[in-house]
Structures are given as structure tokens and as C-alpha cells.
């Protein structure tokens, strides 16, 4: 049977991911003034750990979602186009929450710096690949644009239908 609200674990993961994302983006931007060297490596570590955590939480979220597939609240779409956009944005958000950390991880991995985490020496002259850096950065901007579309969509839905979708994503009655 369909529920009126999202299951509690999905509600928790939705808002917790939002908080982690804000911290992660601020942390990512602050890395620009840091050196990719043992001196500043803890900043890169913190960004990497948080990013990987976001990725793991997204996999858990998708698992919980699949398990509860038949009980999720339904959206009344205004038309086919609306359905395509909403579903597309949701799929793209989940995909980016996995691809962005994966690209970030690969960017650090290809420098050889992971051996430093395992107790080895820091690779001499290690440099981040410029193309991977640009891909990572551009995907973050796409993510931010999609989140803005997503929030605008929730507000437009309220204006068009009078229904506040936020209630379905909140534990409170």
C-alpha cells in the first residue's frame, strides 16, 4: 500500500545528505588555497572521507528506496513532460552523488598519494590531473543547478496544486 510520507530512513538520509553536501562543497572550495602535499594533506583527507561517506549513504538510500518501492508516496504529475523532468532530475541527482566522489577518488588515486595513507612515503612531486579536476568541479556545478531546479519544482508544485510536498519529506505530522 502507498504511504503518504517517505519512510523515515529516506527522510533522514535526504536531509543528512543535504547538510553533508553543504559542508563538503565549502571544504572542496577551501582546498584551492591548499597545497597537495603532506603539509595540508589532512584537509584533502577530510574532503575525501566526507565525499566517500556521501557516496556510501547514497547507495544505502537507493537500497532502502528499492526495498520500499511499492510504498513510496506518489506524485500527481501535471503531464508527461513534468513526469520526465521530475524523474530525470531525481535520477541525475542520485547519479551525481555517486559519480562526483568517484571522480574525486580517482583524481587522488592517480597521484599515488593513497600509499601515504597506508604508511608509505608521499609521492615526490605528486600533482592532481587538471582534466579530472575540471570534470569534478563541473559536475559539482551541474549538481548545484539540479538541486536549484529540484527546490524550484517543489515550490512550483505548491503554487500549482496547493500541495506542500515538504510534508512528505518530514517526520512531523
For ligand HEM, the binding residues (CB under 6 A) are 14, 17-18, 21, 24-25, 28-29, 31-32, 36, 44, 47-48, 51-52, 54, 65, 72-73, 75, 90, 93-94, 97, 100-101, 104-105, 107-108, 128, 133, 136-137, 140, 147, 150-151, 154, 165-166, 168-169
Measured between alpha carbons, how far is 91 from 95 in angstroms, rounded to an integer? 6
Residues ≥6 apart with Cβ < 8 Å to 78: 160, 161
Asked whether 44 and 34 are in contact (CB, 8 A), the reply is: yes
Closer by beta carbon to ligand HEM, 76 or else 124? 76
Nearest to 21 by CA among 114, 133, 100: 100
What is the closest distance, in whole angstroms, from the C-beta atom of residue 42 to ligand HEM in the complex? Answer: 13
What is the closest distance, in whole angstroms, from the C-beta atom of residue 121 to ligand HEM in the complex? Answer: 19
Closer by beta carbon to ligand HEM, 9 or else 73? 73
Closer by beta carbon to ligand HEM, 14 or else 120? 14
Question: Ramachandran region of residue 100, left (φ > 0), alpha (ψ -120 to 50) or beta?
Answer: alpha
Asked whether 131 and 150 are in contact (CB, 8 A), the reply is: no
Amino acid at each position: 500500500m502507498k504511504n503518504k510520507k517517505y519512510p523515515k530512513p529516506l527522510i533522514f538520509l535526504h536531509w543528512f545528505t543535504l547538510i553533508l553536501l553543504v559542508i563538503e562543497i565549502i571544504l572542496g572550495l577551501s582546498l584551492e588555497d591548499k597545497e597537495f602535499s603532506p603539509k595540508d594533506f589532512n584537509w584533502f583527507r577530510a574532503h575525501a572521507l566526507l565525499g566517500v561517506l556521501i557516496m556510501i549513504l547514497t547507495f544505502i538510500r537507493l537500497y532502502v528506496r528499492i526495498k520500499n518501492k511499492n510504498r513510496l508516496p506518489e506524485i500527481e504529475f501535471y503531464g508527461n513532460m513534468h513526469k520526465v523532468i521530475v524523474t530525470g532530475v531525481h535520477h541525475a541527482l542520485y547519479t551525481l552523488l555517486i559519480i562526483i566522489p568517484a571522480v574525486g577518488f580517482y583524481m587522488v588515486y592517480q597521484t599515488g598519494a593513497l600509499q601515504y595513507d597506508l604508511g608509505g612515503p608521499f609521492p615526490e612531486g605528486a600533482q592532481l590531473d587538471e582534466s579530472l579536476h575540471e570534470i569534478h568541479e563541473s559536475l559539482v556545478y551541474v549538481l548545484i543547478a539540479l538541486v536549484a531546479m529540484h527546490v524550484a519544482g517543489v515550490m512550483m508544485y505548491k503554487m500549482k496544486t496547493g500541495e506542500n510536498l515538504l510534508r512528505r519529506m518530514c517526520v512531523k505530522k
